Structure 1
Amino acid sequence: MLVPIAAQALQLPGAALAAADDASIEIARFDAETGSRLAPFAAILLRSESTSSSRIENLTSGAKAIALAELGATDQRNAVEIVGNVHAMQTAIDLDGHLDESLVLGMHAALMDGHHTGPGGQWRTEQVWIGGDSFGPHGATFVPPHHDRVPAAMADLMEFIRRDDIPVLTHAAIAHAQFETIHPFPDGNGRTGRALIHSILRARQLTPHVTVPIAAGLLTDVETYFSALTAFRAGDPAPIVVAMAEASFSAIANARLLLTEITEIRQGWDSLITARAEAMVWRVADLALRIPVFDAATVARELVTTPSNAARAIRPLTESGILTEFTGMRRNRMWQAREILNALDDFAARAGRRNLG
């Protein structure tokens, strides 16, 4: 049942509020630590969160396929859809202070652009349901409100999000659960709703620097996450707040392992590169952390140089084994930083397991 929440008094057990407060402290600490380190980490974490959020919807793909999809490859549908989620997450955090219906529509449009036959960035105009079969809602696990109620329900949600009397992570958790209850789009609601969490964390300045991969934490116990959404719809908001708090701890533990591994990989490269301190090869090495698969044109564009200069800077990294060329072609060659791709795949594997520690 959908209940307006814009002016609703929030009543939560002390244990749920305490869990959210503790998680918020850890999120803020992680954001501050990571924001002061190498710039590529922001892009790495955003992509990792987008991948984890997609996995909750059973959309899986390896890091290399996702990187190729970011460069325009369209042969692996799941990877293309995950890249759409990367774009939705980026839209979510580039809110420029305006968290309203137009931002949510923009997030959904970015998610659906280029890989979906249905319209993106429009409220649904038909009844939808979760579970059951495609013929009707009989046997469905959840039937969202009639589509005629979506615009008013989203306006109510945006008014709730503009409140400033609710602790940030608690605020984000409840807003997310209400969004999933409204289910305002024909498809992509889960991914858009999880992107909305990051809009709220960014707007309230809990995560001004990076995207904490909370969905990676939710992945460790998807059943509890879905059960918490069901409990919210039955009138109990505490489980979704607790689930979000516990997911944050798990996600940060996983993300710290990822960033430590990437830092060690990059430091290891220093001993393999022989070049002047100002040589472009160092910049290409840093670029490989953020874009672990690329061609010379991508390097030229990102580092604002010519393709021939980019190719010359790539060569020492290939000769030292840091990069490997994987097309085997004389033209349109592409390189990969295999160690970085392995680290990203390891992060994804950990996100699917409980008890990260």
Structure 2
Amino acid sequence: MAKVEQRHWASSLDRGGLSRRDRRAGSYQAYLPDPLVDRPLMLTGETAADIAEAEAAITRLDTEAKALAETEALSRLLLRAEAIASSRIEGLEVGARRLLRAEAAQALEGQSTDVTATEVLANIDAMALGVNSIRRGETITVEVLLDVHRRLLTGTRLEQHGGRFREQQNWIGGSSFNPCSAAYVPPPPELVPGLMVDLLAFCNGDDLPAVAQAAIAHAQFETIHPFVDGNGRTGRALIHLILRRRGLAQHVVPPVSLILATWTQSYIDGLVSFRHIGSATSPAAVDGVNIWVSRFAAACTRAVADASAFEQKAADLEQVWRERLAPVRTGSATDLLLAKLVGAPILTVTTAATLIGRSYPAANTAIDRLVQADVLRQVTVGHRNRAFESPEAVAAFTALERQLASPAGDTRSSAPSRPAPRRR
């Protein structure tokens, strides 16, 4: 039975410059959620219809993605969008062009001097690890989740906390120095390991539809808040792990968490509704689960719509390039590179050769041709390294970021509701 537990905070702060509110001791209420395994979960017919619509949309995106030569390119772009937006939400400001150039410098020199971009790149790597570490029917283990978290915090000031459950009380809102005025206080640290074992056992079940399972698991993860930092990003990665394990998103990952972040108040209200007090079968608990799962399902459907629209824009852009370069011989290095360019907007001759599986001279000739047609432009990355950028592909990626940040999916009528790149 879910409940709140009254606890006492004994402050040891006596530093000057802190307000009385920050220095004070006092009581706070920590939330103790119901375990998920064996919890009765009753979904209404309306919620079930929302789930069915979302699952059909995700399956369609995963199986019918055709506009890009390889769905891997679309999936990588959507992971980039998630990583950039997640980082903006958590205070790391970096644009698509800056990130892509740092990624190219990292490939050339082994590292980038752009510290912020490097942290966001670690976010991409962690999410890619999460998506690719689980296949259909495989078990999501504690080790997998801890590894995702470890990679997220690698190279940050909190690196020592990476891959470890918290051993201290954390909280959301209120003072930074005590939980007495917090908006929400997660379970005490001694309960975290047991709650996480229960959560992962739930994640590895097959009794619920995949979208409902991902929704409930994400809400429970954010409720537990098991880490000192990086809970939001790890909780978003967990969504993809579950969808991948259930076979719903084997190739293309819909940017679900970006829509949830865009619908900020709806997202927060949904999580609050999920955190019931009392019996899991009470009307309030049942309503809370249905409210949250329906909102999550709607976010999935919207995420697929945005991803599909971008896929079409990518196909249109590739066609414009082909018309600009015509004729393009089928199977040539130029043909292969055009099919990869939207997914790799900044590249070097070496990375291009690897990407298309051709020799360095062949890739170099193809790049020269794309530069002459103004599809690519030469830029400098890292310490005076020569690279090539597709301004139109970068612009398309930036437009996708803005679209995902718009509550209505159209920035002309609905401005971004969270940090997003400016229109160039």
TM-score (norm 1): 0.92
Match of 1:206 among 230, 243, 248: 248
Match of 1:70 among 79, 90, 103: 103
Which residue number corresponds to residue 345 of structure 2?
292
Please, which moves more after superposition, 112-121 or 198-207? 112-121
Please, which moves more after superposition, 296-305 or 173-182? 296-305
Secondary structure, aligned partner of 1:327: strand
Verify the 8 A CA contact 2:218 2:238 in the aligned structure 1.
yes
Quickly say closer, same or farther: Cα 1:204–1:195, change in 2 above 3 A: same
Secondary structure, aligned partner of 1:248: helix
Secondary structure, aligned partner of 1:82: helix
Verify the 8 A CA contact 2:53 2:301 in the aligned structure 1.
no
Verify the 8 A CA contact 2:68 2:311 in the aligned structure 1.
no
The alignment yields a C-alpha RMSD, in angstroms, of 2.4
Which residue number corresponds to residue 246 of structure 1?
298
Secondary structure, aligned partner of 1:140: coil
Q: Which residue identity is paired with 1:158?
A: L
Match of 2:58 among 16, 20, 27: 27
Do residues 88 (structure 1) and 119 (structure 2) align? no
Quickly say closer, same or farther: Cα 1:121–1:204, change in 2 above 3 A: same
Deviations 1:90-111 (A, max 9, x none): 1222214231111111111222
- Aligned ranges 1:178-197 → 2 under 5 Å: 178-197=220-239
Verify the 8 A CA contact 1:105 1:121 in the aligned structure 2.
yes
Q: What's the offset of the Cα at 1:66? A: 1.9
Instruction: For 1:352 and 1:125, locate their aligned partners in 2 and report how far apart those are by CA, in whole Å.
Output: 34
Which residue number corresponds to residue 168 of structure 2?
126
Which residue number corresponds to residue 17 of structure 2?
none
Quickly say closer, same or farther: Cα 1:130–1:76, change in 2 above 3 A: farther
Q: Which residue identity is paired with 1:263?
A: A
Verify the 8 A CA contact 1:144 1:181 in the aligned structure 2.
yes
Match of 2:94 among 30, 44, 61: 61
Verify the 8 A CA contact 2:55 2:248 in the aligned structure 1.
yes
Instruction: For 2:291 and 2:93, locate their aligned partners in 1 and report how far apart those are by CA, in whole Å.
Output: 27
Instruction: For 2:263 and 2:383, locate their aligned partners in 1 and report how far apart those are by CA, in whole Å.
Output: 47
Instruction: For 1:77 and 1:232, locate their aligned partners in 2 and report how far apart those are by CA, in whole Å.
Output: 37
Aligned residue-pair number: 357
- Aligned ranges 1:262-301 → 2 under 5 Å: 262-273=314-325, 274=327, 276-301=329-354
Which residue number corresponds to residue 422 of structure 2?
none
Do residues 154 (structure 1) and 196 (structure 2) align? yes
Q: What's the offset of the Cα at 1:329? A: 11
Verify the 8 A CA contact 1:52 1:351 in the aligned structure 2.
no
Bigger Rg over Cα: 2
Secondary structure, aligned partner of 1:326: strand
Q: Which residue identity is paired with 1:30?
A: L
Deviations 1:222-256 (A, max 9, x none): 11111211221234222221221111122122212
Instruction: For 1:76 and 1:227, locate their aligned partners in 2 and report how far apart those are by CA, in whole Å.
Output: 36
Secondary structure, aligned partner of 2:158: coil
Secondary structure, aligned partner of 2:183: strand
Verify the 8 A CA contact 1:84 1:110 in the aligned structure 2.
yes
Q: Which residue identity is paired with 1:216?
A: L
Q: What's the offset of the Cα at 1:305? A: 5.0
Q: What's the offset of the Cα at 1:156? A: 0.5
Instruction: For 2:112 and 2:264, locate their aligned partners in 1 and report how far apart those are by CA, in whole Å.
Output: 29
Do residues 15 (structure 1) and 15 (structure 2) align? no
Q: Which residue identity is paired with 2:150?
A: A
Structure 1 segments unaligned to the other structure (5+ residues)? none
Secondary structure, aligned partner of 2:181: strand
Verify the 8 A CA contact 2:102 2:381 in the aligned structure 1.
no
Q: What's the offset of the Cα at 1:298? A: 2.2
Instruction: For 1:329 and 1:20, locate their aligned partners in 2 and report how far apart those are by CA, in whole Å.
Output: 46
Instruction: For 1:276 and 1:229, locate their aligned partners in 2 and report how far apart those are by CA, in whole Å.
Output: 53
Verify the 8 A CA contact 1:299 1:310 in the aligned structure 2.
yes
Verify the 8 A CA contact 1:293 1:335 in the aligned structure 2.
yes
Instruction: For 1:288 and 1:298, locate their aligned partners in 2 and report how far apart those are by CA, in whole Å.
Output: 11
Verify the 8 A CA contact 1:323 1:338 in the aligned structure 2.
yes
- Aligned ranges 1:137-176 → 2 under 5 Å: 137-176=179-218
Do residues 326 (structure 1) and 359 (structure 2) align? no
Please, which moves more after superposition, 70-79 or 330-339? 70-79
Which residue number corresponds to residue 110 of structure 1?
151
Q: What's the offset of the Cα at 1:48? A: 2.4
Instruction: For 1:169 and 1:55, locate their aligned partners in 2 and report how far apart those are by CA, in whole Å.
Output: 26
Secondary structure, aligned partner of 1:325: strand
Structure 2 segments unaligned to the other structure (5+ residues)? 1-30, 277-284, 411-424
Secondary structure, aligned partner of 2:41: coil
Do residues 51 (structure 1) and 79 (structure 2) align? no
Quickly say closer, same or farther: Cα 1:35–1:230, change in 2 above 3 A: farther
Q: What's the offset of the Cα at 1:276? A: 4.1
Verify the 8 A CA contact 1:52 1:215 in the aligned structure 2.
no
Q: Percent identity?
A: 34
